[in-house]
Amino acid sequence: MPPTPPPFPVSRPRRLRRTPLLRELVRETSLAASDLVAPLFVKEGIAAPAAISSMPGHFQHTLDSLRKEADELASGGVRALLLFGIPGAKDAEGSQAWDPDGIVQAALRALAADFGDEVALVADLCLCEYTDHGHCGTLTPDGRVDNDATLERYRRTALAQAEAGASVIAPSGMMDGQVGALRAALDGGGFAETPILAYAAKYASSLYGPFREAAEGAPRFGDRAGYQMDPANGDEALREAALDAAEGADLLMVKPALAYLDVLWRIKHDLGLPTVAYHVSGEYAMVKAAAERGWLDGERAMLEVLTSIRRAGADLVITYFAKDAARLL
Protein backbone atom coordinates (compact mmCIF):
# COMPACT_ATOMS: atom_id res chain seq x y z
CA MET A 1 0.00 0.00 0.00
CA PRO A 2 1.22 3.52 -0.71
CA PRO A 3 2.12 5.58 2.37
CA THR A 4 -0.65 7.69 3.88
CA PRO A 5 -0.10 11.34 2.97
CA PRO A 6 0.33 13.74 5.86
CA PRO A 7 -2.79 15.71 6.87
CA PHE A 8 -1.15 18.98 5.80
CA PRO A 9 1.48 19.90 3.18
CA VAL A 10 5.07 19.36 4.26
CA SER A 11 6.67 22.69 5.20
CA ARG A 12 9.51 23.90 3.04
CA PRO A 13 11.41 26.58 5.00
CA ARG A 14 13.25 27.75 1.89
CA ARG A 15 10.02 29.23 0.57
CA LEU A 16 10.38 32.01 3.13
CA ARG A 17 14.03 32.64 2.31
CA ARG A 18 13.51 33.20 -1.39
CA THR A 19 13.58 37.01 -1.48
CA PRO A 20 14.96 39.77 0.75
CA LEU A 21 11.43 40.94 1.56
CA LEU A 22 10.23 37.50 2.67
CA ARG A 23 13.31 37.05 4.82
CA GLU A 24 12.69 40.43 6.42
CA LEU A 25 9.02 39.70 7.08
CA VAL A 26 9.77 36.55 9.09
CA ARG A 27 12.97 37.76 10.76
CA GLU A 28 12.91 36.83 14.45
CA THR A 29 15.51 39.25 15.83
CA SER A 30 15.69 42.95 15.10
CA LEU A 31 18.68 45.25 15.32
CA ALA A 32 18.23 49.02 15.41
CA ALA A 33 20.40 52.01 16.26
CA SER A 34 18.32 52.47 19.40
CA ASP A 35 19.55 49.06 20.64
CA LEU A 36 23.14 50.31 20.73
CA VAL A 37 25.19 52.12 23.38
CA ALA A 38 28.37 53.90 22.28
CA PRO A 39 31.39 53.89 24.62
CA LEU A 40 33.41 57.13 24.53
CA PHE A 41 36.69 58.21 26.09
CA VAL A 42 37.41 61.75 27.26
CA LYS A 43 40.87 62.79 28.42
CA GLU A 44 41.90 65.76 30.50
CA GLY A 45 44.66 68.08 29.32
CA ILE A 46 44.86 67.30 25.60
CA ALA A 47 44.42 69.92 22.89
CA ALA A 48 43.15 67.60 20.13
CA PRO A 49 41.59 64.13 19.97
CA ALA A 50 44.18 61.34 20.07
CA ALA A 51 43.69 58.26 17.90
CA ILE A 52 43.64 54.87 19.68
CA SER A 53 45.94 52.68 17.61
CA SER A 54 44.36 49.34 18.56
CA MET A 55 40.81 50.59 17.99
CA PRO A 56 40.63 52.11 14.49
CA GLY A 57 38.08 54.91 14.31
CA HIS A 58 38.14 55.69 18.03
CA PHE A 59 39.79 58.48 19.96
CA GLN A 60 40.60 59.85 23.36
CA HIS A 61 38.46 62.97 23.09
CA THR A 62 38.74 66.51 24.30
CA LEU A 63 35.54 67.94 25.75
CA ASP A 64 34.86 69.73 22.47
CA SER A 65 35.45 66.70 20.26
CA LEU A 66 33.41 64.54 22.67
CA ARG A 67 30.44 66.85 22.22
CA LYS A 68 30.80 66.72 18.44
CA GLU A 69 31.04 62.91 18.43
CA ALA A 70 28.04 62.62 20.74
CA ASP A 71 26.03 64.85 18.43
CA GLU A 72 26.91 62.71 15.40
CA LEU A 73 25.93 59.55 17.27
CA ALA A 74 22.63 61.02 18.42
CA SER A 75 21.88 62.28 14.92
CA GLY A 76 22.44 58.72 13.67
CA GLY A 77 19.93 57.29 16.13
CA VAL A 78 22.25 56.14 18.94
CA ARG A 79 20.51 57.35 22.09
CA ALA A 80 22.85 56.15 24.86
CA LEU A 81 26.52 56.87 25.59
CA LEU A 82 28.87 55.18 28.07
CA LEU A 83 31.55 57.56 29.36
CA PHE A 84 35.10 56.75 30.48
CA GLY A 85 37.49 59.40 31.74
CA ILE A 86 41.28 59.69 31.75
CA PRO A 87 42.39 62.26 34.35
CA GLY A 88 45.39 64.54 34.12
CA ALA A 89 46.75 63.24 37.43
CA LYS A 90 46.39 59.94 39.29
CA ASP A 91 46.90 58.96 42.92
CA ALA A 92 46.66 55.86 45.09
CA GLU A 93 43.00 56.44 45.94
CA GLY A 94 41.79 57.53 42.52
CA SER A 95 40.41 60.77 43.95
CA GLN A 96 39.79 62.36 40.55
CA ALA A 97 36.94 59.87 40.11
CA TRP A 98 34.77 61.78 42.61
CA ASP A 99 36.18 65.27 42.17
CA PRO A 100 33.25 67.55 41.18
CA ASP A 101 35.55 69.07 38.55
CA GLY A 102 36.93 65.71 37.37
CA ILE A 103 36.98 64.99 33.68
CA VAL A 104 33.92 62.70 33.58
CA GLN A 105 31.89 65.09 35.70
CA ALA A 106 32.82 67.92 33.32
CA ALA A 107 31.82 65.76 30.36
CA LEU A 108 28.51 64.81 31.97
CA ARG A 109 27.62 68.44 32.59
CA ALA A 110 28.49 69.42 29.02
CA LEU A 111 26.53 66.58 27.43
CA ALA A 112 23.56 67.02 29.76
CA ALA A 113 23.42 70.67 28.70
CA ASP A 114 23.58 69.64 25.03
CA PHE A 115 21.01 66.84 25.07
CA GLY A 116 18.87 67.04 28.19
CA ASP A 117 16.83 63.84 28.38
CA GLU A 118 17.21 63.08 24.67
CA VAL A 119 20.37 60.99 25.19
CA ALA A 120 21.03 58.66 28.13
CA LEU A 121 24.40 59.37 29.73
CA VAL A 122 25.78 56.22 31.36
CA ALA A 123 28.68 56.87 33.72
CA ASP A 124 31.11 54.00 34.15
CA LEU A 125 32.05 53.86 37.83
CA CYS A 126 35.43 52.35 38.61
CA LEU A 127 38.80 53.55 39.87
CA CYS A 128 41.20 51.81 37.49
CA GLU A 129 41.55 54.85 35.20
CA TYR A 130 42.16 57.10 38.21
CA THR A 131 44.55 55.13 40.45
CA ASP A 132 48.30 55.28 39.95
CA HIS A 133 48.48 51.49 40.39
CA GLY A 134 45.70 50.69 37.89
CA HIS A 135 43.58 48.50 40.12
CA CYS A 136 39.84 48.98 40.56
CA GLY A 137 39.98 50.06 44.19
CA THR A 138 42.14 51.22 47.05
CA LEU A 139 44.84 48.83 48.25
CA THR A 140 45.77 47.32 51.58
CA PRO A 141 49.43 47.66 52.71
CA ASP A 142 50.19 44.23 51.22
CA GLY A 143 48.81 45.22 47.79
CA ARG A 144 45.36 43.63 47.81
CA VAL A 145 42.21 45.52 46.85
CA ASP A 146 40.37 46.57 50.01
CA ASN A 147 36.74 45.79 49.18
CA ASP A 148 34.99 47.83 51.88
CA ALA A 149 37.29 50.84 51.67
CA THR A 150 36.73 50.82 47.93
CA LEU A 151 32.96 50.87 48.39
CA GLU A 152 33.28 54.16 50.26
CA ARG A 153 35.10 55.68 47.27
CA TYR A 154 32.46 54.26 44.93
CA ARG A 155 29.71 55.97 46.95
CA ARG A 156 31.42 59.34 46.58
CA THR A 157 31.90 58.78 42.86
CA ALA A 158 28.28 57.79 42.29
CA LEU A 159 27.05 60.96 43.96
CA ALA A 160 29.49 63.12 41.99
CA GLN A 161 28.38 61.52 38.72
CA ALA A 162 24.68 61.82 39.52
CA GLU A 163 25.06 65.46 40.54
CA ALA A 164 26.87 66.15 37.25
CA GLY A 165 23.98 64.78 35.20
CA ALA A 166 24.47 61.02 34.76
CA SER A 167 21.28 59.28 33.61
CA VAL A 168 22.56 55.87 34.73
CA ILE A 169 25.36 54.79 37.08
CA ALA A 170 27.29 51.70 35.94
CA PRO A 171 29.62 50.22 38.58
CA SER A 172 32.21 48.00 36.89
CA GLY A 173 34.72 47.19 39.63
CA MET A 174 33.19 43.84 40.69
CA MET A 175 33.45 44.62 44.39
CA ASP A 176 31.18 42.61 46.68
CA GLY A 177 28.18 44.69 47.74
CA GLN A 178 28.82 47.52 45.29
CA VAL A 179 25.25 47.75 43.99
CA GLY A 180 23.74 47.89 47.46
CA ALA A 181 26.26 50.51 48.57
CA LEU A 182 25.54 52.70 45.56
CA ARG A 183 21.77 52.28 45.83
CA ALA A 184 21.90 53.46 49.44
CA ALA A 185 24.18 56.38 48.57
CA LEU A 186 22.04 57.52 45.64
CA ASP A 187 18.79 57.17 47.58
CA GLY A 188 20.22 59.06 50.54
CA GLY A 189 21.67 61.76 48.30
CA GLY A 190 18.42 62.63 46.56
CA PHE A 191 18.93 60.43 43.47
CA ALA A 192 16.46 57.64 44.16
CA GLU A 193 15.29 57.83 40.54
CA THR A 194 18.78 57.27 39.08
CA PRO A 195 19.04 53.67 37.82
CA ILE A 196 22.02 51.36 38.27
CA LEU A 197 23.42 49.25 35.45
CA ALA A 198 25.38 46.52 37.21
CA TYR A 199 28.39 44.94 35.55
CA ALA A 200 26.97 41.74 37.03
CA ALA A 201 29.12 39.19 35.19
CA LYS A 202 32.39 40.83 34.23
CA TYR A 203 34.98 38.23 33.34
CA ALA A 204 38.76 38.37 33.71
CA SER A 205 39.05 38.31 29.93
CA SER A 206 41.96 38.52 27.51
CA LEU A 207 39.81 40.72 25.27
CA TYR A 208 40.26 44.03 27.13
CA GLY A 209 43.71 44.92 25.75
CA PRO A 210 42.69 47.73 23.39
CA PHE A 211 40.47 49.26 26.08
CA ARG A 212 43.37 49.42 28.49
CA GLU A 213 45.33 51.40 25.92
CA ALA A 214 42.35 53.70 25.40
CA ALA A 215 41.58 54.25 29.09
CA GLU A 216 45.20 54.12 30.27
CA GLY A 217 44.07 51.83 33.07
CA ALA A 218 46.18 48.67 32.91
CA PRO A 219 47.25 47.39 36.35
CA ARG A 220 50.87 48.23 37.17
CA PHE A 221 51.31 44.86 38.91
CA GLY A 222 49.38 41.61 39.12
CA ASP A 223 46.02 41.26 37.41
CA ARG A 224 42.31 41.52 38.17
CA ALA A 225 41.53 37.81 38.41
CA GLY A 226 41.02 38.19 42.18
CA TYR A 227 37.87 40.25 41.66
CA GLN A 228 36.72 39.69 38.08
CA MET A 229 35.11 36.37 37.17
CA ASP A 230 36.82 33.16 36.04
CA PRO A 231 35.98 32.57 32.34
CA ALA A 232 35.22 28.92 33.13
CA ASN A 233 32.26 29.72 35.38
CA GLY A 234 28.65 30.10 34.32
CA ASP A 235 26.64 29.23 37.43
CA GLU A 236 28.64 31.79 39.38
CA ALA A 237 27.49 34.46 36.94
CA LEU A 238 23.88 33.66 37.77
CA ARG A 239 24.64 34.01 41.48
CA GLU A 240 26.45 37.32 40.92
CA ALA A 241 23.58 38.68 38.82
CA ALA A 242 20.97 37.54 41.34
CA LEU A 243 22.87 39.29 44.14
CA ASP A 244 23.02 42.51 42.14
CA ALA A 245 19.31 42.29 41.39
CA ALA A 246 18.54 41.75 45.07
CA GLU A 247 20.66 44.79 45.98
CA GLY A 248 18.69 47.04 43.64
CA ALA A 249 20.24 46.81 40.17
CA ASP A 250 17.88 48.00 37.45
CA LEU A 251 19.81 46.51 34.52
CA LEU A 252 22.33 43.66 34.40
CA MET A 253 25.40 43.46 32.18
CA VAL A 254 27.49 40.60 30.81
CA LYS A 255 31.02 41.46 29.68
CA PRO A 256 32.47 40.40 27.22
CA ALA A 257 29.65 39.41 24.89
CA LEU A 258 30.56 36.85 22.22
CA ALA A 259 32.38 34.31 24.37
CA TYR A 260 29.62 34.51 26.99
CA LEU A 261 26.39 34.34 24.97
CA ASP A 262 25.33 31.32 27.04
CA VAL A 263 25.68 33.40 30.22
CA LEU A 264 23.77 36.26 28.64
CA TRP A 265 20.93 33.91 27.70
CA ARG A 266 20.73 32.42 31.20
CA ILE A 267 20.75 35.76 33.00
CA LYS A 268 18.07 37.21 30.74
CA HIS A 269 15.77 34.20 31.04
CA ASP A 270 16.37 33.37 34.70
CA LEU A 271 16.16 36.89 36.13
CA GLY A 272 14.09 38.78 33.57
CA LEU A 273 15.62 42.21 34.15
CA PRO A 274 16.70 44.38 31.22
CA THR A 275 19.99 42.83 30.16
CA VAL A 276 22.97 44.48 28.51
CA ALA A 277 25.95 42.92 26.74
CA TYR A 278 29.28 44.69 26.32
CA HIS A 279 30.84 43.86 22.96
CA VAL A 280 34.33 44.74 24.12
CA SER A 281 37.37 46.34 22.54
CA GLY A 282 39.13 43.09 21.66
CA GLU A 283 36.02 41.76 19.93
CA TYR A 284 35.83 45.00 17.95
CA ALA A 285 39.53 44.99 17.10
CA MET A 286 39.47 41.40 15.80
CA VAL A 287 36.74 42.17 13.26
CA LYS A 288 38.45 45.40 12.24
CA ALA A 289 41.84 43.72 11.78
CA ALA A 290 40.42 40.86 9.71
CA ALA A 291 38.45 43.28 7.55
CA GLU A 292 41.49 45.47 6.94
CA ARG A 293 43.34 42.39 5.68
CA GLY A 294 40.50 41.45 3.38
CA TRP A 295 39.81 38.22 5.24
CA LEU A 296 36.13 38.97 5.75
CA ASP A 297 33.45 41.50 4.89
CA GLY A 298 33.68 43.85 7.84
CA GLU A 299 30.19 45.32 7.58
CA ARG A 300 28.48 41.96 7.27
CA ALA A 301 30.52 40.54 10.14
CA MET A 302 29.69 43.55 12.31
CA LEU A 303 25.95 43.24 11.78
CA GLU A 304 26.00 39.46 12.17
CA VAL A 305 27.86 39.71 15.47
CA LEU A 306 25.57 42.42 16.88
CA THR A 307 22.46 40.52 15.79
CA SER A 308 23.74 37.36 17.48
CA ILE A 309 24.15 39.26 20.75
CA ARG A 310 20.59 40.56 20.50
CA ARG A 311 19.34 37.06 19.65
CA ALA A 312 21.01 35.68 22.78
CA GLY A 313 18.96 38.03 24.95
CA ALA A 314 20.58 41.47 25.08
CA ASP A 315 18.12 44.33 25.26
CA LEU A 316 21.02 46.73 24.69
CA VAL A 317 24.46 46.19 23.19
CA ILE A 318 27.40 48.36 24.21
CA THR A 319 29.66 48.36 21.18
CA TYR A 320 32.44 50.32 19.54
CA PHE A 321 30.61 49.59 16.30
CA ALA A 322 27.66 51.78 17.34
CA LYS A 323 28.33 54.60 14.90
CA ASP A 324 29.20 52.33 11.95
CA ALA A 325 26.24 50.02 12.59
CA ALA A 326 23.75 52.84 13.02
CA ARG A 327 24.70 54.17 9.61
CA LEU A 328 23.56 50.87 8.03
CA LEU A 329 20.42 50.28 10.08
Question: What superfamily in CATH does domain 30-328 come from?
Answer: Aldolase class I (3.20.20.70)
H helix and E strand count, the chain: 11, 10
Residue of 268 and 174 predicted with greater confidence: 268
Active site residue 90: no
DSSP string, 48-81: S-EE-TTSTT-EEEPHHHHHHHHHHHHHTT--EE
Q: What is the mean pLDDT of residues 257-272?
A: 97
Question: What is the pTM assigned to this prediction?
Answer: 0.93
Rounded Cα gap, residues 309 and 277, in angstroms: 7
Q: Are 168 and 195 in contact (CB under 8 A)?
A: yes
**Among residues 43, 255, 268, 288, which one is catalytic?**
255
Q: How far is residue 46 from each of residues 58, 60, 61, 65, 110, measured CA to CA in Å?
A: 15, 9, 8, 11, 17
The alpha carbon dihedral of 172, 238, 241, 276 has a sign of positive
**Among residues 202, 268, 288, 323, which one is catalytic?**
202
Average pLDDT in the chain = 93
Residue of 232 and 8 predicted with greater confidence: 232
Active site residue 202: yes
Q: What is the mean pLDDT of residues 276-288?
A: 97
Q: What was the pLDDT predicted at 222?
A: 59
> What pLDDT digit, counting tens, does each position of 15-59 carry?
889 999 999 999 999 999 999 999 999 999 999 999 999 999 999
- Break the chain into its structural domains and give their ranges: 30-328
> What pLDDT digit, counting tens, does each position of 220-252 carry?
765 677 778 899 999 999 999 999 999 999 999
> What pLDDT digit, counting tens, does each position of 181-223 carry?
999 999 999 999 999 999 999 999 999 988 888 877 777 765 6
> What pLDDT digit, counting tens, does each position of 115-135 carry?
999 999 999 999 888 888 877
Q: What was the pLDDT predicted at 189?
A: 98
